Amino acid sequence: MPKQLKLMIVAGEPSGDAHAASLVKALRGIEPNLELFGATGPLMRAEGVETTVNSDSLAIMGIVEVSRVLPRFIRAFRALKAEAIKRTPDAVVLVDWPEFNLRLASSLHRQGIKVIYYISPQLWAWRSKRVKKIRRDVDLLLSILPFETDWYKERGVEHVEFVGNPLSGEVKATVTREEFCRQFGLDTKRPIISFLPGSRHKELVRILPPMLDAIESLGKNDAGLQFVLVVAPSRRPEEASEILAERANGEWLRAKIVLVHHHTRDAVAASDVAAVASGTATLEAALLGTPMVIVYKESTINWHTLGRLINVEHYGLANLVAGKRLFTELMQNDLNGSRLSEELLKLLEPARNQELRNELHRIAERLGEGGASRKAAEAIMKSLNS
């Protein structure tokens, strides 16, 4: 009787939890009798992964934020290392979360445990010298962005494989534009602009105000425009409403804005253009075919400290996959109501809008045809059996 395969899986943020849960489902489709344990979020736990560390409270961004909860990270690290040494898994599968997982990879690799990294760290963006840790500590690197494999191979990482992007084939609207408009009281014949300020509370606090400034400017100059504020599923609509209520013109804005919660993809797909906080949401907008302005705003200390380490030409993932600046990026001090409203109006011009929609189709093709979780699971099983 063949021995039962055992894997530790470690994911720390909501997006990593979602990708890991899909991976687990695909792995069990190949080998139903897998023993799985590790750092889990709610979606991984729903797939039956045994919890060594609950990662729900570890999804922290920024230097100040991390410093406040450092003891929590240290306890999680020690617990995972101890459990791996005790249970000797056939491999540890690390999902994204590079600040934590690269350290864990180094520690566990020294213990003789095979290390597989799914969703390769974006070292091409910042702190690229860490690539030597990948060469030394990772046995198989699975990439979800098409340009990453060449970047890693040029730096001596041979054990890297592009498996496609988990969003490809998965990001779709569930209703037509007409149905969305009927559901939320919008006019299909008038332009719709959606605003996605991010999935973290501090992103809402920093990014939503300049978005509201843009809505005020646009709404006062063109009464025909319609505005949709998309509150991320991880946030409460009340958080956005509180920011609106603090403004002197809050009532006017509230009357102008349609607030949408738990219908992100439908809202973006139904929109003529969108303002999207930099991150995975820009890839989702690209796959939905909606031209966008990419925006972001950090705390001053994080921007000046971390921003100096970033060494890419583009911040937005959609631009990085395209290999050129297709979409305007308004970062930090460049993000204000005047600039944002100006750029959104440019995108509404019919010729420019159609040109960008054609480019978005090419971006979708570069991200792969779908089935990334299945391909990643097949690559992992092949590595375990080699």
Contacts of 158 (CB under 8 A, 6+ apart): none
pLDDT of residue 315: 82
Cα 381 to Cα 24: distance, rounded to the nearest angstrom? 12
Report all structural domains of the chain as residue ranges with CATH numbers, in order of start: 6-166+371-384 (3.40.50.2000), 177-366 (3.40.50.2000)
- Side-chain-side CA neighbours of 292 within 13 Å: the count stands at 33
pLDDT of residue 154: 96
pLDDT, mean of residues 170-196: 97
Task: Flag the least confident range among 168-172, 174-178, 183-187, 266-270.
Answer: 168-172
Query: Residue 49 phi/psi, 5° resolution?
Result: -80, 125
Within 10 angstroms of residue 327's Cβ, the number of other Cβ atoms is 24
From the number of C-beta atoms within 10 Å of its C-beta (0-12, 13-18, 19+), residue 380 rates as buried
- Two tokens at 157? 């990482």
For residue 280, pLDDT beyond 70? yes
pLDDT, mean of residues 326-334: 95
- CB 57, CB 40: distance < 8 Å: no
- CB 144, CB 170: distance < 8 Å: no
SS (H, E, C) 26-47: HHHHHCCCCEEEEEECHHHHHC
pLDDT of residue 138: 98
pLDDT, mean of residues 190-211: 95
The pLDDT-based confidence of 339 (bands split at 50, 70, 90) is very high
Could you read off the pLDDT of 63-121 as tens digits, one per residue? 445 556 688 889 999 999 999 999 999 999 999 999 899 999 999 999 999 999 999 98
For the entire predicted model, the pTM comes to 0.85
Cα 133 to Cα 62: distance, rounded to the nearest angstrom? 22
Cα 6 to Cα 107: distance, rounded to the nearest angstrom? 19
**C-alpha to C-alpha distances, 287 to 121, 216, 297, 356, 359, nearest whole angstrom:** 22, 29, 24, 12, 11
DSSP 75-127: HHHHHHHHHHHHH--SEEEEES-HHHHHHHHHHHHHTT--EEEES---TTTB-
Q: Which tops the pLDDT comparison, 322 or 64? A: 322
For residue 299, pLDDT beyond 90? no
Contacts of 218 (CB under 8 A, 6+ apart): 193, 225, 227, 341, 344, 345
- Side-chain-side CA neighbours of 346 within 13 Å: the count stands at 13
- Could you say which DSSP state residue 69 is in? T
**C-alpha to C-alpha distances, 145 to 103, 124, 282, 320, nearest whole angstrom:** 23, 11, 13, 9
Contacts of 73 (CB under 8 A, 6+ apart): 58, 66, 100
| Radius of gyration (C-alpha) of the chain in whole angstroms | 22
Cα 255 to Cα 42: distance, rounded to the nearest angstrom? 36
**C-alpha to C-alpha distances, 223 to 213, 340, 386, nearest whole angstrom:** 15, 17, 64
Strand order in 35-40's β-sheet? 50-54, 35-40, 6-11, 91-95, 115-118, 140-143, 160-162
Cα 8 to Cα 386: distance, rounded to the nearest angstrom? 18
From the number of C-beta atoms within 10 Å of its C-beta (0-12, 13-18, 19+), residue 2 rates as exposed
DSSP 88-99: --SEEEEES-HH
- Could you say which DSSP state residue 276 is in? E
